[in-house]
């Protein structure tokens, strides 16, 4: 009897410890979700050598690399890690395809002294849209990579581009959180600030999605879910066999898909 009592007390302590850890970890996820998502580098925006030939502009507080070289414009929203400076290899594709480019840097990135947040990045998208509206382009293509797919979809909801490419996208932030933290009620914990399903529900121009088959950061299934939900007929899903999240552009098929999209 005494042994059973001692065992019960041990089990009770273990259960209390588990519940306490569960609540603590869930609280950390909820409070620090933006820190979990955004990982900026301290690359200085103005001294980025990769964009030496581009204008380094600031429009209503939003910084952008801009190069005007034709009547068509490609707009890029980059992923959650690094900086806009890191994506010069994508800008090269735009130039080679005959496009001007606008590469948007997010608030809190490239050493601007702020902390990145959903609201600040959505404000950057609004400013990018305003800037594009002040220019005169015959065609606008919007490209969003990873978390930038959320920014790109939000852009499309504000101003319809002629075509849209989403690279390693998610359906919405809630689905992405569920895929990582399925053991939590994330619907009451996570700010679903970037809902690609909602923002693209009325999109009716060309769209191409590229996703690595072995992506373990934003699951391949989330890209498929978004694709299947899109009401537009002119849509294409490009699977990069063997590719993960961070090595997608080590596969030549990804470049081929981008060049085909920009034709």
Q: List the CATH number of the domain containing 191.
A: 3.40.50.1820
Q: Are strands 100-104 and 62-67 parallel, antiparallel or unpaired?
A: antiparallel
Does 12 fall in a domain? no
8 Å CB contact between 98 and 72: yes
Give the per-residue pLDDT at 183: 66
Distance CA 173, CA 196 (A): 9
pLDDT in the model for residue 245: 96
Determine the pLDDT at residue 192.
Answer: 74
Range of the domain at 215: 32-262
Structure tokens at 77: 């929203």
Q: Is 4 contained in some domain?
A: no
Q: Which of 192, 194, 202 is nearest to 230 (CA)?
A: 202
**What is the pLDDT at residue 17?**
72
The verdict on residue 8 lying in a domain is no
91 located within any domain: yes
pLDDT by residue, tens only, the chain of 263 residues:
555 655 556 666 767 776 766 666 666 666 667 777 888 988 899 999 999 999 999 999 999 999 999 899 999 999 999 999 999 999 999 999 999 999 999 999 999 889 999 999 999 999 999 999 999 999 999 999 999 999 999 999 999 999 999 999 999 888 887 877 776 776 666 777 899 999 999 999 999 999 999 999 999 999 999 999 999 999 999 999 999 999 999 999 999 999 999 99
Q: What is the 3-state secondary structure (H, E, C) of 99-141?
A: CEEEEECCCCCCCCCCCCCHHHHHHHHHHHHHHHHHCCCCEEE
pLDDT at residue 41, as a whole number: 86
* Residue 22 forms part of a structural domain: no
Residue 94 φ then ψ, to 5°: -60, -45
Would 11 be classed as within a structural domain? Answer: no
Which pTM does this prediction carry? 0.90
- Angle, helices 88-96/252-262, rounded to nearest 10 degrees: 50
Can you tell me the distance from the alpha carbon of 114 to that of 178, in angstroms, rounded to the nearest whole number?
Answer: 28
Q: What is the predicted pLDDT for the residue at 219?
A: 96
What's the number of domains the chain is made of? 1
Asked whether 172 and 219 are in contact (CB, 8 A), the reply is no
Give dist(CA 128, CA 117) in Å, integer: 17
112, 119, 171, 187 from 192: Cα distances, Å: 25, 11, 11, 8
């Amino acid at each position: 009897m005494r042994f059973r009592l001692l065992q019960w007390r041990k089990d009770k302590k273990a259960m209390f410890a588990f519940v306490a850890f569960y609540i603590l970890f869930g609280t950390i996820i909820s409070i620090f979700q933006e820190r979990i998502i955004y990982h900026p580098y301290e690359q200085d925006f103005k001294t980025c050598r990769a964009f030496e030939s581009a204008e380094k502009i600031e429009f209503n507080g939003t910084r952008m690399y801009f190069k005007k070289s034709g009547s068509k414009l490609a707009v890029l929203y980059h992923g959650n890690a690094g900086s806009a400076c890191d994506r010069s290899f994508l800008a090269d594709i735009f130039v080679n395809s005959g496009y001007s480019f606008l590469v948007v840097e997010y608030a809190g990135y490239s050493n601007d002294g702020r902390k990145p947040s959903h609201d600040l990045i959505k404000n950057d998208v609004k400013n990018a849209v305003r800037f594009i509206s002040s220019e005169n382009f015959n065609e606008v293509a919007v490209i969003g990579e990873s978390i930038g797919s959320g920014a790109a979809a939000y852009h499309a909801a504000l101003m319809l581009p002629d075509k849209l490419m989403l690279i390693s996208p998610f359906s919405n932030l809630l689905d992405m959180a569920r895929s990582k933290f399925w053991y939590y009620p994330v619907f009451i914990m996570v700010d679903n600030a970037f809902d690609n399903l909602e923002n693209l529900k009325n999109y009716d121009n060309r769209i191409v999605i590229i996703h690595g088959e072995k992506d373990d950061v934003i699951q391949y299934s989330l890209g498929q879910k978004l694709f299947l939900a899109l009401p537009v007929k002119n849509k294409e899903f490009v699977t990069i066999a063997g590719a993960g999240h961070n090595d997608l552009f080590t596969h030549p098929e990804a470049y081929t898909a981008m060049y085909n999209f920009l034709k």
